[in-house]
A and B are shown apart, each in its own frame.
Chain A
Amino acid sequence: MRTFGSPEFLFIVYALRWTLTLTVIAFIGGGIMGIVLALLRIARSRVLRAVTTFYMQVIQGLPLLVLLFLCYYAPSLVGLEIAALTAAAVALTINSSAFLGAIWESALRAIPKAQWESADALALTPYKTLRFVIAPQAIRLALPSTVGFLVQIIKQTSLASIIGFIEITRAGQLVSNATFEPLKAFLSVAALYFAVCFPLTQLSLWLERRTARGGART
């Protein structure tokens, strides 16, 4: 029987790249969809707003695990088999889009109406208003929560282990099964998550304090 040594630990460390790959896909995919959702939520059309609200409420009210199962099994309805990575990436993207959309929407709404009106008075097109007036301010406001949510995404990638995708949680399970030392295996996994997430949590706190100070100055 194998004991828990450095090869086993390194096996878990190597799996970190899959955790990070999944995080990057979900953050970029969810980010793009989130921007669209946030813009739709402040759109003039009432129908667009209502549809977007419905989508966001449903996704936010759905456990990620259930969403993950739905994404994993849905393609089999049309006879397709998809990889666990694809299913996990799609589920995490959909989930992140709703939460990032909500964060960015509230940042957009926090910009005073006078800013929109002044840009309008300067004859800026809606796109230019957004690009040069609203977005630069909204990004500053939304940055702390966005980094905070990135930490959530990293932790949520652990759910991909349930459908068998080998990221660090699954790697921990494999090592635990091979060595019968689950405590060491899972504590290593936890330590790796901590090593990745803790600096980001601190960054988010620092950004939040900086934004709060900047807000007080103006």
Chain B
Amino acid sequence: MEYTFQFGPLLNYLQQFVSGLWLTLGLSFVGIFGGIALGIVCATVSTSSFVLPRLAVRIYVETMRNTPLLVQIFVIFFGLPNIGIRLSPLTSVFIALVLNNGGYVAEIVRGGIQATHRSQVEAAESLGLTYFQTLRFVILPPALEKVFTPVVSQCVLLMLSTSLVSAIGVEDLTGAAMIASSETFRTMEVYLIIAVVYVLLNFIFRAVLNMAGLMIFTRSRRRLLGRV
């Protein structure tokens, strides 16, 4: 009944772990930035005056937010071939992650846009700004700055949920761990190692994204540094 931890046999799998880590980073990167871009577009549409696109975005956002990512991956990877769309596991998970994150980000950003006062939009209109100029210079910058913290939290959660891609055999960090554990039977060692890696990634992602926020949003930078 004694269990001796042996990390030695896992050294042979270092290569797989490293390439799994890169894939996790790649998936997170695409999921985060693709999701943010999609989310901003959807949030803009859902606060516009076009009824049909608004309804479509609403349905999309609610579907993403009210179904599990795992089921979304299954529908895309296992389900779509039924109607003739055959995607590789990797393509499927890229699509699923971007769509999923896009839904969450859209809802967060929409809150930020709606918090912007109407008078600002009216002022922009009276200055003769076009719709896109108003969006680009008046509505989006303060809205995005306001919701930056919740968006970062959402993106870190997305990074953690990239581990679900291992369920359809994609060899990300968790996928590599599954293979290593089934071949060496050092299950606990394997999962303890990747648990530590994920916790570290969590801190790194949070720090990097917050730093990026300080670089993008001049106003919060000024507030932090005491009005430089």
Which of A63, A78, A198 is close to B66, meaning CB atoms less than 8 Å apart? A198
Contacts of A182 in B (CB 8 A): 74, 78-79, 81-82
Given known pairs A169-B70, A182-B74, the reply for A62 and B160 (CB within 8 Å) is yes
Please give the number of chain B residues whose Cβ is less than 8 angstroms from any Cβ of chain A in the complex.
40
Select the stretch in A81-89, A103-111, A155-163 that faces chain B. A155-163
Q: A residues bordering B, Cβ < 8 Å?
A: 57-58, 60-67, 69-70, 73-74, 76-79, 151, 155-156, 158-159, 161-162, 169, 172-173, 176, 181-187, 189-190, 193-194, 197-198, 201
CA distance A161 to B167 in the complex (A): 10
CA distance A198 to B207 in the complex (A): 33
Contacts of A161 in B (CB 8 A): 70
- Extra contacts besides A67-B195, A162-B70 (5): CB < 8 Å: A57-B199, A62-B202, A69-B191, A172-B71, A173-B74
CA distance A79 to B79 in the complex (A): 39
Given known pairs A70-B195, A182-B79, A182-B82, the reply for A65 and B163 (CB within 8 Å) is yes
Which of A73, A181, A201 is close to B191, meaning CB atoms less than 8 Å apart? A73
Majority secondary structure of chain B interface residues (helix, strand, loop or mixed) = helix
Whether the pair B198, A186 counts as a contact (CB closer than 8 A) is no
Q: B residues bordering A, Cβ < 8 Å?
A: 1, 3, 62-63, 65-72, 74-75, 78-83, 160-164, 166-167, 174, 177, 187-188, 191-192, 194-195, 198-199, 201-203
Whether the pair A66, B82 counts as a contact (CB closer than 8 A) is no
Given known pairs A172-B74, A193-B66, A193-B68, the reply for A73 and B188 (CB within 8 Å) is yes
Q: Can you list 18 residue pairs at the A/B interface with Cβ under 8 Å?
A: A57-B199, A61-B203, A64-B161, A70-B191, A78-B3, A155-B66, A155-B67, A158-B70, A158-B71, A169-B70, A169-B74, A176-B78, A182-B82, A183-B75, A183-B78, A187-B75, A190-B67, A190-B71
Majority secondary structure of chain A interface residues (helix, strand, loop or mixed) = helix
A66: nearest chain-B partner, CB-CB: B195
